[in-house]
Structure 1
Amino acid sequence: MNDALSLLYTGDLHLGRHPSRIPDDLDGPGLSPKAVWLSAVREAIEQDVDAVVVAGDIVDQENRYFEAYGTFEDGIAQLDDAGIPVVVVAGNHDYEALPEMVDNLDSDTLQFLGRGGEWERWTLEEDGEPVVHFDGWSFAAEHVYESPLAEYELSGTDDVPQIGVLHADLDSRGSRYAPVLSSDLRDTAVDAWLLGHIHSPGIRIDSRPLALYSGSPQPLDPGEQQAHGPWMITILETGEVRAEQIPLASVRYDQVSVDVSGVDDPQEATAVISAELKDHVRADLDASSLELSLVRVHLTGRTAAHSALVDQHRSMERDLGFREGSVSVRIESIDVDTRPEIDLEALAEGENAAAYLANLLLEIENGDPRDTYGEVVEDSLMAVRQAHSANAYNPLRRETELEEPGDADAIEHLEQQARVLLDTLLSQKEGNA
């Protein structure tokens, strides 16, 4: 290999889905995964990469095949015209749809590896000489309970780089989505493992072999925080493999904590939140491709506006929005974790309802409330589980896996309600006085 090789790598496109929680007035096709896929294609052509690699879940589900087909075909045609080969494997979402799609596409350069759950190698050649091997495996069913690496027997090479392409669940024993272990990846002769399945991008093994998840190029829900986009993989003449993310996503989800200690009312809190979010956009975000920043705001601190924030945070979520440069900033949700300006220790010395609540809150802050308030925690747990099972959450369950609430959720709910009730009792006492 005389020169460095470059690969544009992505995965989990989920063509046919759309990011959640997008405000109606800002929504449009430009915020879809399809738009980011075509942006990645343009990037590959502009950078004149040697190949594009897509690590599975190109189509979101079989019933979105036709919605995804045209966009994927458009990207493949552009890469075909540029003479850039594309290596793909199937994931758990497109194990049926992707093979059919590949068979229907008229492309000379599209390489589908691992059909039927069998390892397969394709070699990129230059002037008749091999320059890099791609070893790939594809899902043949929705669920795979055994590690695909148990059947990986493709031989190593002395001087030609090997790239493994695999849709799998790394270091998650018992997973039904092709569980593999980092130790097993390290035991192979592969120089880099390009993985799909996990939507949060990042390097998982920062050594030989390099192993990383591209993540979804466009984040799809608030759980997929931080920057997203394809990766540029560079294989140097020395054999060293380098990876650098290209932040092409037009949507970004984040969480920002805002201390509103000393704030007297929600209007003042709004000003503090806006200032914090502007600083966040300026300091932390790459705005070159970004169009929308959706932020989950976590409010902390002791404030006289605690009850008003609990009562009004939903309207604040709807109303608080602005532009910072080319980026629209909106609130995805506001989590009110503030505390009233109350001396709980002094209040707890009484014998009334306020003292009971003060003692409960002190126990939550400093210990395990189940020891003293077990029945109250149990009642709270039943309440949050009943809310979790409500029909209103059925659409969300179909899109994501919602875990059943546990003790931590019950205690968080109990704490918030106790603080609101205590603040109300003290407000009534002040009014009567």
Structure 2
Amino acid sequence: MADAPCRILCTGDLHLGRYPSRTQSRDRTWAVDHVWEDTVSYAVQQAVDVVVLTGDVVDEQNKRYEALGPIQRGLRRLEEAGIPVVAVAGNHDFDALPRLAEMVEAEHFHLLGRGGEWSTTTVTPEGRSPVQFVGWSFRKAHAQDSPVESFPEEHLRDDGPTVGVLHADLNAPESVYAPVSLDALRQCPVSAWLLGHIHAPSLRDDRSPPVLYPGSLQPLDPSETGPHGPWRVEVAPDGDGTATQATQLPRATLRYEHLNVSVDAIKEEGAVEAAVTDAMRDRLRTACEEGPTPQRLVCRLTLTGRTSAHRAVCDLAETWPGKLEVPVAESTAVVEAATARTRPALDLERIAEGTDPPAVLAQLLLAVRDGEEDEHAQDAWAAIKEACSAVQNSPAYDPLPDADALSPDQETLADMVQRQGLLLLDELRSQTDAVPHE
């Protein structure tokens, strides 16, 4: 069937040679090369028409040696299955990937855009629509100019779909990593853009042509939250245009998540632990429902709310990282970091009725909370802002070009005052209670 779509399996930013950080384990299952092997197996099982790699295949710190074996094995399996591979080099592997391309024994491996010059190749799957790929590669670690300025529109075929492959920084004009704008990409006569450089998977524009960052195949640090894995992209002629569909395949064995857990009004230490483990368990179950089960969910916890168990929460948060594990079937959720942003559950109105230091502090906190501007509150605000300015104007911040932008706004500052004030009030009251009375 001539108009059957070309089936593309796309991924970017493998960084072969790196191991995901802060996993609380050194199991090889989390290694990038293991997920690459799984992706190759999936491509062969599904008999896709082409595999596309959008740059940074090799990590900067392990230029060749750790990456060569996995790439060779993967390319050999794909070649044996008759599946070509199209790739571009990114800022991390601008020199390593061309060398690897010369070293690997794979006739079906097409590295586009060598030396910063656009080039093309056409894939013609049996019984499906041929697709032309046009790509550009980094020739050195930095590229301040937009590669789209030299896009070879005149060299493109007009008898079928064209897919652009590029490692670039989207809508970041000051970037030194091939800055491109969404508008410039949309003006190029292609059916889809497959981009590398950003590790977070995202379909930036689902209009024609769609612009896709497939993201890293396996997340590499706790900032790369959510599902990861290759994308299946189907491209086919559709009347006078091209129909393109993109679907994420969350096949990564590892997943990072930031969990906010409210322990508001919880009074018992055991109930706090139960709330945390329930949240981890629920998040892991949800991840399992979204696709193939991640074998490890690495959680960064933030605990919030007002609770009389505040002190216990702070102590527990220090003990959980690397220790608390929650199994669900054959998967495990673990704690990588935990932060207690809870507040003591204190009756400010009652405490403020006195004349001792806790009462004075409670009166101030009530004034801050209610936005009152009496003389006492004004003096306190002046002292707080002076202290903040002293920190901001210290020599340690001189190298920062936008130090002024670090100043918190009034709302943020009020929240900090409330939170720290409640902690101080709780400490003052604990010290008062500890003093023996005659």
The TM-score normalised by the length of structure 2 is: 0.86
**Does the CA-based 8 Å contact 1:20-1:221 persist in structure 2?**
yes
| Alignment of structure 1 residues 51-66 onto 2, 5 Å | 51-61=50-60, 63-66=62-65
User: Counterpart of 1:83?
Assistant: 82
CA shift in 2, pair 1:366/1:80, >3 Å? farther
| Alignment of structure 1 residues 412-431 onto 2, 5 Å | 417-431=420-434
Pair 1:197-2:200 in alignment? no
**Does the CA-based 8 Å contact 1:164-1:193 persist in structure 2?**
yes
Give the fraction of aligned pairs with identical amino acids, expressed as a percent: 38
CA shift in 2, pair 1:421/1:208, >3 Å? same
* Structure ID, larger Rg: 2
Q: Give the aligned residue type for 1:229.
A: G
Q: Give the aligned residue type for 2:162.
A: Q
Segments of structure 1 that go 5 or more residues without pairing to the other structure are 390-402
**Does the CA-based 8 Å contact 1:380-1:413 persist in structure 2?**
no
CA shift in 2, pair 1:354/1:308, >3 Å? same
Q: Secondary structure at the match of 1:220?
A: coil
Q: Give the aligned residue type for 1:376.
A: A
Q: What is the CA–CA distance in structure 1 between the aligned matches of 2:93 and 2:182, rounded to whole Å?
A: 25
**Does the CA-based 8 Å contact 1:62-1:97 persist in structure 2?**
no
**Does the CA-based 8 Å contact 1:287-1:327 persist in structure 2?**
no
User: Counterpart of 2:143?
Assistant: 144
Instruction: Report deviation, 1:419.
Output: 3.7
**Does the CA-based 8 Å contact 2:40-2:74 persist in structure 1?**
yes
Q: Secondary structure at the match of 2:101?
A: helix
User: Counterpart of 1:184?
Assistant: 184
| Alignment of structure 1 residues 149-168 onto 2, 5 Å | 149-155=148-154, 156-168=156-168
User: Counterpart of 2:374?
Assistant: none
Q: What is the CA–CA distance in structure 1 between the aligned matches of 2:370 and 2:74, rounded to whole Å?
A: 56
CA shift in 2, pair 1:264/1:154, >3 Å? same
Q: What is the CA–CA distance in structure 2 between the aligned matches of 1:128 and 1:320, rounded to whole Å?
A: 53
Instruction: Report deviation, 1:344.
Output: 3.8
Instruction: Report deviation, 1:267.
Output: 2.8
Q: What is the CA–CA distance in structure 1 between the aligned matches of 2:198 and 2:40, rounded to whole Å?
A: 21
| Alignment of structure 1 residues 143-292 onto 2, 5 Å | 143-155=142-154, 156-238=156-238, 239-285=242-288, 286=290, 288-292=292-296
User: Counterpart of 1:70?
Assistant: 69
Q: Secondary structure at the match of 1:319?
A: coil
Q: Secondary structure at the match of 1:240?
A: strand
CA shift in 2, pair 1:69/1:358, >3 Å? farther
Judge which range, 328-337 or 189-198, deviates more. 328-337
**Does the CA-based 8 Å contact 2:161-2:237 persist in structure 1?**
no
**Does the CA-based 8 Å contact 1:270-1:320 persist in structure 2?**
no
CA shift in 2, pair 1:363/1:378, >3 Å? farther
User: Counterpart of 1:374?
Assistant: 385
Judge which range, 365-374 or 173-182, deviates more. 365-374
Instruction: Report deviation, 1:299.
Output: 1.0
CA shift in 2, pair 1:331/1:79, >3 Å? same
User: Counterpart of 1:10?
Assistant: 11
**Does the CA-based 8 Å contact 2:168-2:177 persist in structure 1?**
yes
**Does the CA-based 8 Å contact 1:307-1:423 persist in structure 2?**
no
**Does the CA-based 8 Å contact 2:249-2:291 persist in structure 1?**
no
User: Counterpart of 1:400?
Assistant: none
CA shift in 2, pair 1:349/1:9, >3 Å? farther
Q: Secondary structure at the match of 1:338?
A: strand
Q: What is the CA–CA distance in structure 1 between the aligned matches of 2:296 and 2:416, rounded to whole Å?
A: 30
Q: Give the aligned residue type for 2:332.
A: S
- Deviation per CA, 1:89-118: give whole Å up to 9, x if none: 000000011111111111110000000001
Q: Give the aligned residue type for 1:377.
A: C
Instruction: Report deviation, 1:406.
Output: 3.6
User: Counterpart of 1:303?
Assistant: 307
Q: Secondary structure at the match of 2:172?
A: coil
Q: What is the CA–CA distance in structure 2 between the aligned matches of 1:159 and 1:73, rounded to whole Å?
A: 33
Q: What is the CA–CA distance in structure 2 between the aligned matches of 1:147 and 1:370, rounded to whole Å?
A: 48
Q: Secondary structure at the match of 2:342?
A: coil
Instruction: Report deviation, 1:138.
Output: 0.3
Q: What is the CA–CA distance in structure 1 between the aligned matches of 2:269 and 2:363, rounded to whole Å?
A: 27
CA shift in 2, pair 1:10/1:375, >3 Å? same
Judge which range, 125-134 or 62-71, deviates more. 125-134
Aligned partner of 1:322 among 319, 322, 326: 326
Q: What is the CA–CA distance in structure 2 between the aligned matches of 1:129 and 1:245, rounded to whole Å?
A: 22
Instruction: Report deviation, 1:422.
Output: 2.2
- Deviation per CA, 1:38-84: give whole Å up to 9, x if none: 11111111111110000000011154420111111111111011110
- Deviation per CA, 1:334-377: give whole Å up to 9, x if none: 12121111134565676654356546766876779976511333
Instruction: Report deviation, 1:302.
Output: 0.8
CA shift in 2, pair 1:275/1:157, >3 Å? same
User: Counterpart of 1:21?
Assistant: 22
**Does the CA-based 8 Å contact 1:300-1:337 persist in structure 2?**
yes
CA shift in 2, pair 1:350/1:89, >3 Å? farther
Instruction: Report deviation, 1:320.
Output: 1.8
Q: How many residues are matched? A: 415
- Deviation per CA, 1:188-212: give whole Å up to 9, x if none: 1111000000000010011001001
Judge which range, 265-274 or 73-82, deviates more. 265-274
